[in-house]
Amino acid sequence: MRKTSDTEPRAKKGAADAAVPGELLGAHVSTAGGPPTALGRGAAIGATALQLFTKTPNMWREPVVTREIADAFRRAREEHPVGAIVSHDSYLINLASPDDALRAKSRQAFEGELTRSQALGLDGIVSHPGNFIDEHDAGLERNAAALTEALRAVPGTVMVYLETTAGTGTVLGRTFEELRDLRDLVGEEVRSRVGFCADTCHLFSAGYDLVGDFDGVWEAWDRIIGLEHLRCLHLNDSKTPFASKKDRHELLGEGSLGTEPFRRIMTDPRFVAIPKLLETPKGDADEVTNDLRMLALLRSFGTPN
């Protein structure tokens, strides 16, 4: 049996026992010490789904997932089984940039994200659509073209989950129409590998009222994008008010969304098969206390009828 690294938090008693069979619930966890350590961190909070980085997100350095790392990751997943694992791409990537050099560098980095995620056997990559900077429609086209090239260059089963954004500045992905149009512009032969990740903080900050019109938001999503393309949920409260256009995550129930939207998500049968992942502040030295508290809150809401 693999020994627990000194860099991994120890599982707290009862963490795994709180999980509901078949659920897909967890958090973004650190890969300090290498990707295989993420599974032990997931076990420490009783996660049944995980999100991780495959590289340092604010550096261009491109690590390689060797066969040894991939094998160690597989063994760790056998020891600590989870139903779904996704990665999140680098914060530096901007596939919509009007700067040809930056866009080419971003596309190369995104291909690296796809390659590492494929080697680790992950389900998908959550990706911010990028900033258009100059012209909105041109930015959409640049992003779609770069996505198409990257998916062609790295064939496989790993999907791209385009994430909803809060709408700050020239960022793409603030509306359901933008996300739909971006996917529609991706090459037809690789378009089936593109889905979406909805972030509750981002939706609320962008002007989708999950508090006052929960059903209306998801009816609009289904009408414009299609619920079949929703592949991941980020469960985050917001530090800022409705329609603030700001991306500031808060602990669940301690921000402007409160607890009700999260109760609705946890008990709605439409979302039962979708991975639900916390990106709320850790705020603790052991990296587990807040995640345990947030996951316990979500599980206390019950399961879909």
pLDDT, tens digit, for every residue of 223-275? Answer: 999 999 999 999 999 999 999 999 999 999 999 999 999 999 999 999 999 99
Q: What's the confidence (pLDDT) of residue 15?
A: 54
pLDDT, tens digit, for every residue of 284-305? Answer: 778 899 999 999 999 999 988 7
| Residue percentage of the chain with pLDDT more than 90 | 90
**Is pLDDT above 70 for 1?**
no
Q: What's the confidence (pLDDT) of residue 2?
A: 35
Q: What is the mean pLDDT of residues 155-180?
A: 97
- The structure tokens 């009408």 sit at 223
The structure tokens listed for 169 are: 């500045």
**Is pLDDT above 50 for 5?**
no
| Of the candidates 83, 6, 1, 10, the residue with the CA atom closest to the CA atom of residue 40 | 10
pTM over 0.85: yes
**Is pLDDT above 60 for 183?**
yes
CB 113 within 8 A of CB 89: yes
Q: What's the confidence (pLDDT) of residue 176?
A: 98
| Of the candidates 244, 282, 153, 259, the residue with the CA atom closest to the CA atom of residue 210 | 259
The structure tokens listed for 30 are: 């650190």
Q: What's the confidence (pLDDT) of residue 161?
A: 98
Every domain of the chain and the residues it spans: 21-300
Q: Kindly report which listed range (1-10, 24-33, 107-116) carries the lowest average pLDDT score.
A: 1-10
Q: What is the mean pLDDT of residues 182-205?
A: 98
CB 80 within 8 A of CB 39: yes
Confidence of residue 20 (pLDDT cuts 50, 70, 90): confident
Neighbours of 212 (CB within 10 A): 9
Q: What's the confidence (pLDDT) of residue 216?
A: 98
pLDDT, tens digit, for every residue of 67-118? Answer: 999 999 999 999 999 999 999 999 999 999 999 999 999 999 999 999 999 9
**Is pLDDT above 80 for 35?**
yes
**Is pLDDT above 90 for 182?**
yes
pLDDT, tens digit, for every residue of 47-73? Answer: 999 999 999 999 999 999 999 999 999
How far apart are the C-alpha atoms of 15 and 152, rounded to whole Å?
A: 41
Distances (CA, A) of 127 to 118, 173, 228, 252: 15, 10, 18, 23
CATH 3.20.20.150 is the classification of domain 21-300: yes
C-alpha radius of gyration, the chain, whole number: 18
pLDDT, tens digit, for every residue of 199-231? Answer: 999 999 999 999 999 999 999 999 999 999 999
Confidence of residue 179 (pLDDT cuts 50, 70, 90): very high
Q: What's the confidence (pLDDT) of residue 285?
A: 74
| Of the candidates 136, 135, 116, 134, the residue with the CA atom closest to the CA atom of residue 125 | 116
